[in-house]
């Protein structure tokens, strides 16, 4: 085993690797960028080395500096995590040339699987089933179009060097092909430095099922069962589970052996994942008819590896370290067993109700579910941030991974919903409530899985207000009274229910809730009780409140319902979390807002910091509501800015390639 390793990554995966290294007595070296100077992963390691600016290309992709850091600190090996340099064969080679062990497969294996098109040609030779498609070298647009026509629509265009759901376009019909190709090539050039693409038949209602494989330097290779990652948005995984619902032992073995054959075809060493797209011609109820096709192999540890750890009881990072130090695999195929069911939810800084637009900001409140711990627990929470940390635009928007394990899928599901309910994040938009909606949706609960689950269930996933304005107002009123009470001098007769000595008085509150102004009336009754009316709804309000860590726990009764609500107050804004969901409500000072006009007409601003990729219009153009005006790139994805109303473009305020800050005005639009 190594004495010391360097972890060439950041965030949760760097912390994850450091935890296993620590357990095994292996010392760790962190590397960090300017933005990460005080990041959790730096604290998680024994030593750290600053390697440059905040943008990945100035730090985490600067492999000469990383190798120099390893040599300077006496590290014997480098763990690349996922993303960044993990699938960079030049880096793997450079490690070897500098006498360092790259904790991963050989440069030759990475190269063979690195390009989607080439790996498909290789898999075809190894007898692994492929999706019908074109993966040749000729990239002439007319020829690609011809191939797409031959395959038949819908087709999927994929960046040959792509990954992480980026550089992929589905094309429904022939007319749309040229535009989709251009946009795919542009994203591919920006993200992967190559615009080569391949074309595949778009499989209808497929599942994504992948096999975890592991090889060693003694010629052994095993599979550690499957993970179902069908629940996706923008071709990126949202929920992952193991085992795959409906999987039969026969199909598991067939897929496992195909994955091992794929790995052996490239002499694979270390942890890898063979991803399959699975057709279900018999529908959800006939899983025995599932047909699988090779999609790609990820030559690294995968984000969702914890679900495999949960069902097998193994530590895959430990296996990686053992294999990289020359030991044989700890177990043989027939010694591998799994039990129970595990699900992982990716908690991301993004706004699901606004096309999953990534969000940046500070984690003002960041509370993890109770009893979450790193290892051997039914609730595991892997992250790389702490309360108060910033989520910056430089890196991935994933904040944390929540992993649950249960004896059955139903048990795991219940545990996941409970743990998400206890995950409280304030300060930026996250997908936590959205994840809860997915988890309890009929399709997911019934395991009717395919990659279109999210669009299919859209009606119950997006724009959901499960808290309701009555409860939100009642909680905000209670919060205000608790707050006022806390400011008073202690009084032996004080009661937190708002008791007042002078008979009945009334009080008016103005709130903003879900973009709407609301008025509530609170009456203090002669017996000390409270009466609240919110619109049509009126009734007695009573509550007790307890300070809980920094927030407040309010046990609330209003309108015949009882709810325990956890609140955090920031100025006039109250963030509340309860079993039903989460909500934000702001008390308005009626006078301060009296003169304010409603719309900011004509301003079109960047929704987030990023780079302007292109403008689709020029000054003087007449545009229709919803028409694309500009494309921005931020957090490694492209976002289209559309016209909010009909109008005329007055002026473009930036040029393609410009960096813009959040809220920067991109162009001026004159309303029609």
Binding window for ligand ADP (CB under 6 A); candidates: 235-243, 429-437, 497-505, 553-561: 235-243
Q: Any long-range contacts for 110-116 (C-beta under 8 Å, 24+ apart)?
A: 110/299, 112/265, 112/266, 113/266, 113/296, 113/297, 113/298, 113/299, 114/87, 114/89, 114/161, 114/299, 115/160, 115/161, 115/196, 116/158, 116/159, 116/160, 116/161, 116/162, 116/198, 116/296
162 binds ligand ADP (CB under 6 A): yes
581 binds ligand ADP (CB under 6 A): no
Q: What angle do CA 323, 329, 332 make, to 5 degrees?
A: 165
Name which position in 40, 120, 158, 401 contacts ligand ADP (CB under 6 A).
Answer: 158
Residue whose structure tokens are 């589970």: 241
Spacing of C-alpha 59 from chain mean position: 23
What does 551 bind: Mg ion, ligand ADP, none (CB cut-off 5 to 8 Å by kind)? none
CB-nearer residue toward Mg ion: 163 or 498? 163
135 binds ligand ADP (CB under 6 A): no
**Least distance to ligand ADP, CB of residue 7, Å:** 11
304 binds ligand ADP (CB under 6 A): yes
Q: Which three-class secondary structure state does DSSP give residue 109?
A: helix
What does 11 bind: Mg ion, ligand ADP, none (CB cut-off 5 to 8 Å by kind)? ligand ADP
Q: What is the DSSP string of 336-353?
A: ----SEEEEEEEESEEGG
What does 309 bind: Mg ion, ligand ADP, none (CB cut-off 5 to 8 Å by kind)? none
Q: Which two tokens stand for residue 584?
A: 């934000």
* Residues acting as catalytic residues: 300
The CA-based dihedral angle spanning residues 498, 502, 505, 511, taken in that order and rounded to the nearest 10 degrees: -30
206 binds ligand ADP (CB under 6 A): yes
Name the residue among 74, 69, 65, 66 with its Cα closest to residue 27: 74
CB-nearer residue toward ligand ADP: 277 or 416? 277
Q: Are 625 and 632 in contact (CB under 8 A)?
A: no
Binding pattern for the stretch 428-467 against ligand ADP, x by CB under 6 A and - elsewhere: -----------------------x----------------
What does 436 bind: ligand ADP, Mg ion, none (CB cut-off 5 to 8 Å by kind)? none
**Least distance to Mg ion, CB of residue 295, Å:** 6
CB-nearer residue toward ligand ADP: 202 or 511? 202
Residue whose structure tokens are 């760790």: 28
The CA-based dihedral angle spanning residues 485, 487, 488, 489, taken in that order and rounded to the nearest 10 degrees: 130
φ and ψ at residue 645, rounded to 5 degrees = -160, 170
415 binds ligand ADP (CB under 6 A): no
Question: What angle separates helix 107-114 from helix 116-125, to the nearest 10 degrees?
Answer: 100
Question: What angle separates helix 177-192 from helix 141-151, to the nearest 10 degrees?
Answer: 120
Binding pattern for the stretch 241-280 against Mg ion, x by CB under 5 A and - elsewhere: ----------------------------------x-----
What does 9 bind: Mg ion, ligand ADP, none (CB cut-off 5 to 8 Å by kind)? ligand ADP
Task: Give the side-chain half-sphere CA count within 13 A for 558.
Answer: 30
CB-nearer residue toward ligand ADP: 582 or 637? 637
CB-nearer residue toward ligand ADP: 17 or 295? 295
205 binds ligand ADP (CB under 6 A): no
Strand order in the sheet with 270-279: 291-298, 270-279, 207-215, 221-233, 236-242, 341-348, 398-406, 379-383
Residue whose structure tokens are 């294999």: 323
Helix (H) or strand (E) holding 94: helix 89-97
Name the residue among 376, 382, 373, 370 with its Cα closest to residue 345: 382
**Least distance to Mg ion, CB of residue 585, Å:** 40
Name which position in 208, 401, 415, 424 contacts ligand ADP (CB under 6 A).
Answer: 208
In the bound state, the residue with its beta carbon closest to ligand ADP is 83
259 binds ligand ADP (CB under 6 A): no
**Least distance to ligand ADP, CB of residue 157, Å:** 10
**Least distance to Mg ion, CB of residue 275, Å:** 5
Binding window for ligand ADP (CB under 6 A); candidates: 88-96, 302-310, 406-414, 519-527: 302-310
397 binds ligand ADP (CB under 6 A): no
Q: Which two tokens stand for residue 236?
A: 């990126």
CB-nearer residue toward ligand ADP: 216 or 228? 228
Tell me the residue ranges of DSSP E strands in 264-423. Answer: 270-279, 291-298, 341-348, 350-351, 357-358, 361-362, 365-367, 379-383, 390-391, 398-406
Spacing of C-alpha 320 from chain mean position: 24
Binding window for ligand ADP (CB under 6 A); candidates: 10-18, 179-187, 261-269, 406-414: 10-18
Q: Tell me the C-alpha distance between 641 and 648, whole Å.
A: 15
Name which position in 195, 216, 296, 382 contacts ligand ADP (CB under 6 A).
Answer: 296
Q: Which two tokens stand for residue 195?
A: 């615009």
CB-nearer residue toward ligand ADP: 81 or 246? 81
Residues in the chain, overall count: 672
CB-nearer residue toward Mg ion: 165 or 245? 165
CB-nearer residue toward Mg ion: 292 or 509? 292
**Least distance to ligand ADP, CB of residue 301, Å:** 8
Name which position in 44, 95, 156, 184 contacts ligand ADP (CB under 6 A).
Answer: 156
352 binds ligand ADP (CB under 6 A): no
Q: Tell me the C-alpha distance between 491 and 505, whole Å.
A: 21
202 binds ligand ADP (CB under 6 A): yes
Binding site for ligand ADP (CB under 6 A): 9-11, 13, 81-84, 131, 156, 158, 162-165, 200-203, 206, 208, 232, 235-237, 275, 277, 295-296, 298, 302-304, 396, 398, 451
Which residues lie near Mg ion (CB under 5 A)? 275
């Amino acid at each position: 085993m190594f004495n010391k390793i360097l972890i060439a990554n950041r965030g949760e995966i760097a912390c994850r690797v450091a935890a296993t290294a620590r357990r095994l007595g292996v010392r760790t070296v962190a590397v960090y960028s300017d933005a990460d100077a005080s990041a959790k992963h730096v604290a998680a390691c024994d030593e750290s080395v600053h390697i440059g600016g905040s943008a990945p290309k100035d730090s985490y992709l600067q492999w000469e500096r990383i190798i120099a850091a390893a040599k300077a600190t006496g590290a014997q090996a480098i763990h690349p995590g996922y993303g960044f340099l993990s699938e960079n064969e030049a880096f793997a080679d450079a490690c070897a040339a500098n006498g360092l062990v790259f904790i991963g497969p050989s440069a030759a294996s990475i190269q063979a699987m690195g390009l989607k098109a080439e790996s498909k040609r290789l898999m075809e030779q190894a007898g692994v089933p492929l999706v019908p498609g074109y993966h040749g070298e000729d990239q002439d647009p007319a020829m690609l179009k011809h191939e797409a026509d031959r395959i038949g629509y819908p087709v999927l265009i994929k960046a040959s060097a792509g990954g992480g759901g980026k550089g992929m376009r589905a094309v429904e019909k022939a007319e749309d092909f040229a535009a989709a190709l251009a946009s795919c090539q542009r994203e591919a050039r920006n993200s992967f430095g190559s615009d080569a693409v391949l074309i595949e038949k778009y499989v209808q209602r497929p599942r994504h099922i992948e096999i975890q494989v592991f090889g060693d330097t003694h010629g052994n290779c095993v599979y550690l069962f499957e993970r179902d990652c069908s629940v996706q948005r923008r071709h990126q995984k949202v929920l992952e589970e193991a085992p795959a619902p409906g999987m039969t032992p026969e199909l598991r073995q067939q897929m496992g052996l195909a994955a091992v054959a794929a790995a052996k075809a490239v002499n694979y060493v270390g942890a890898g994942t063979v991803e399959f797209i699975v057709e279900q011609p018999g529908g959800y109820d006939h899983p025995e008819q599932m047909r699988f096709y090779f999609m790609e192999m990820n030559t690294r540890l995968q984000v969702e590896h914890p679900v495999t750890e949960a069902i097998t009881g193994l530590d895959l990072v430990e296996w990686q370290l053992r294999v990289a130090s020359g030991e044989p695999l700890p177990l043989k195929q027939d010694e591998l067993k799994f039990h129970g069911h595990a699900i992982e939810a990716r908690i991301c800084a993004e706004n699901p109700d606004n096309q999953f637009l990534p969000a940046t900001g500070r984690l003002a409140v960041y509370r993890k579910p109770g009893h979450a711990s790193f290892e051997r627990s039914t609730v595991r929470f892997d992250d790389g941030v702490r309360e108060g940390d910033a989520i910056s635009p430089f890196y991935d928007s994933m904040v944390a991974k929540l992993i649950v394990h249960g004896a059955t899928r139903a048990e795991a599901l219940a545990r996941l919903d409970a743990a998400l309910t206890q995950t409280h994040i304030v300060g930026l938009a996250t997908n936590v409530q959205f994840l809860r909606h997915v988890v309890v949706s009929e399709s997911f609960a019934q395991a009717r899985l395919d990659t279109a689950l999210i669009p299919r269930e859209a009606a119950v996933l997006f724009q959901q207000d499960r808290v309701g304005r009555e409860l939100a107002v009642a909680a905000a009123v209670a919060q205000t009274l608790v707050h006022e009470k806390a400011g008073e001098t202690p009084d032996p007769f004080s009661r937190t229910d708002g008791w007042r000595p002078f008979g009945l008085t009334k009080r008016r509150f103005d709130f903003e809730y879900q973009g709407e102004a609301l008025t509530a009336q609170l009456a203090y009754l002669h017996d000390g009780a409270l009466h609240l009316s919110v619109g049509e709804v009126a009734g007695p309000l009573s509550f007790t409140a307890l300070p809980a860590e920094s927030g407040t726990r309010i046990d609330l009764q209003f309108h015949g319902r009882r709810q325990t609500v956890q609140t955090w107050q920031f100025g006039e804004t109250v963030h509340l979390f309860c079993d039903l969901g989460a909500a934000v409500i702001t008390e308005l000072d009626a006078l301060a807002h009296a003169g304010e006009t409603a719309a900011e007409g004509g301003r079109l601003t960047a929704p987030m910091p990023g780079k302007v990729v292109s403008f689709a219009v020029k000054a003087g153009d007449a545009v229709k509501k919803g028409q694309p005006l500009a494309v921005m790139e931020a957090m490694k994805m492209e976002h289209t800015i559309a016209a909010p109303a009909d109008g005329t473009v007055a002026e473009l305020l930036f040029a393609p390639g410009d960096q813009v800050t959040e809220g920067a005005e991109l162009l001026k639009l004159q309303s029609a």
